[in-house]
Amino acid sequence: MIPTQARVVIVGGGIAGASIAYHLAKLGWRDIVVLEQAELVSGTTSHAPGLVGQLRSNASLTKLLMDSVALYRTLRVNGEAGYFPVGSLRVASSKERFAELERQAEFAQRVGLEAHLLGPAEAAQQCPLMSLDGVEGALFVPSDGSATATILARSLIDEAQRSGVSFHAHVRVRAIEAPNARIRAVETTEGRIETETLVVAAGIWSPLIARMVGVSLPLTPMQHQYVMTAPLPELSGLTIANLRDPDKLVYLRQRDEALVIGGYERNPRLFSVEAIPDRSDPTVQTFDASHFEQLRSAMAERVPCLATAELAKGVNGLESFTPDGEYLLGPSHEVRGFWAACGFCAHGISGAGGVGKALAEWIVTGQPNVDLSATALDRFGTQAADPRFIDQGACRVYGTYYDLRRAEAVR
């Protein structure tokens, strides 16, 4: 049975909704209700490969991701950790890229994130499988790592439940009452809940819920693919750092004795909010090996054993992208009591811990703990309601994801 009243209703039982609920409970709020239309942790969180990188486009967002890592180090389910600080390497295959890494190293130092510029040989010690062809150097962030996102989300749910948060699976939000532009109640498949505060953390579905009260959340689902190899003898007994080779548009992490490889192709594929299927596994589409081939072969240039590696599985997941590549976080200025945390642009696992903390503090105290002006829901003005603007922006963000940045900005 769902309650008839709540202090806050959170829509979405993925890692973002779980983290917001966990942090609100930590700040002493009670009567917190999380609604999930399917099983808990069954959306995009269920299949993310879970690279966690902390360097972002500005100091506030980097601090937010550092908060995630500090939290993730503490989370367990039945003693099993969900975060492995294996470190990350970002390699430079050109002088321009190395200059960018130098700027990023300075930036990391300014925000208090440990990071080291390495020469090619030192970089190879962190990832011995890598070929050093054309490598000028690398940026190494020791506290970056890999997550098992389902464990992190489960652990946040368990902790939140212990603090009294009620999670309701298989309850779908169907409508929202907001007379006089103020949240009053949520209509669900199991009944009505009165509340003055609604937080939409519904991943790729978020714009559909926002529309129920006339708010535009400018994000679109995009198809993002990765593969996992069969166990590789080359990895036996090794623990390697995550690897990003932005000049080749690819990233990689180790999972046991296998590698997970993904990347940002220049010809990305949009999906549509309206086309999200109503079935189990709605955030997974058919894997397209021919589309992925450009990334697999680029990664094999950097990690030669991948040229012949057997692939155990390929995943085509749906993930939200915004027109400028930044999250959508905070309150609506159009409808009082409406909040959102979505548009994670393929770093929602990295961000969710800090996002939950910042949003909970903002809801409870009226101020976030970091400057979140870059993620304001209304930053696009009236263009937020223009599907062409959203799609074109999201494709540009995805297709240029690893392009050189003039400032210290990182993707």
Strands 51-52, 145-147: pairing is antiparallel
Give the residue, chosen from 37, 104, 322, 375, that forms a contact with ligand FAD under the rule CB under 6 A: 37
* 350 contacts: CB under 8 Å, gap ≥ 6: 51, 52, 53, 54, 65, 68, 147
Q: How far apart are CA 84 and CA 145, in angstroms?
A: 5
Chain position whose Cβ is nearest to ligand FAD: 348
CA distances from 137 to 122, 167, 170 (A): 9, 47, 50
Distance CA 244, CA 266 (A): 16
Among 48, 303, 335, 377, contact with ligand FAD (rule: CB under 6 A): 48
- Using CB under 6 A as the binding rule, whether residue 359 contacts ligand FAD is answered as no
Give least dist CB 11 to ligand FAD, A. Answer: 5
Q: Which residues contact 294 (CB under 8 A, 6 or more apart)?
A: 265
* Distance between CA atoms of residues 24 and 20, nearest Å: 6
Stretch of 15-23, 86-94, 190-198, 399-407 contacting ligand FAD, by CB under 6 A: 15-23
Q: How far apart are CA 20 and CA 62, in angstroms?
A: 18
Smallest distance, ligand FAD to C-beta of residue 116, A: 22
Min CB(218)–ligand FAD separation in Å:
16
- Out of 22, 23, 29, 36, name the contact with ligand FAD by CB under 6 A: 36
User: Does residue 13 touch ligand FAD according to CB under 6 A?
Assistant: yes
Q: Which range of residues in 81-89, 199-207, 369-377, 384-392 is near ligand FAD by CB under 6 A?
A: 199-207
- Residue 38 within binding range of ligand FAD, rule CB under 6 A: yes
Of the candidate residues 10, 24, 49, 372, the single one contacting ligand FAD (CB under 6 A): 49
Judged by CB under 6 A, which stretch of 48-56, 113-121, 227-235, 291-299 contacts ligand FAD? 48-56
Give the residue, chosen from 6, 9, 10, 17, that forms a contact with ligand FAD under the rule CB under 6 A. Answer: 17
CB 16 within 8 A of CB 129: no
Residue 408's contacts (CB-CB under 8 Å, 6 or more residues apart) are 103, 104, 106, 107
Nearest Cα to 329, choosing from 342, 338, 317? 342
Find, among 163, 190, 188, the residue nearest to 175 by Cα.
188
Strand order in the sheet with 166-168: 166-168, 32-35, 8-11, 198-200, 338-342, 328-331
Using CB under 6 A as the binding rule, whether residue 35 contacts ligand FAD is answered as yes
Q: What angle do CA 109, 57, 247 make, to 5 degrees?
A: 90
For ligand FAD, the closer of residues 95 and 313 by Cβ is 313
Binding flag, residue 268, ligand FAD (CB under 6 A) = no
Q: Using the rule CB under 6 A, is 82 a contact of ligand FAD?
A: no
- CB of 52 or CB of 235, closer to ligand FAD: 52
Q: How far apart are CB 277 and ligand FAD at their closest, in Å?
A: 12
185 binds ligand FAD (CB under 6 A): no
Closer to ligand FAD by Cβ: residue 36 or 159: 36
**Residue 42 in the binding site for ligand FAD (CB under 6 A):** yes
CB neighbour class for 291 (10 Å; exposed up to 12, middle 13-18, buried from 19): middle
Using the rule CB under 6 A, which residue among 347, 363, 380, 390 binds ligand FAD?
347
209 part of the interface to ligand FAD, by CB under 6 A: yes
| Chain residues that interact with ligand FAD, rule: CB under 6 A | 11-17, 35-38, 42-45, 48-52, 172-173, 201-203, 205, 209, 224, 226, 283, 315, 317-319, 342, 344, 346-350
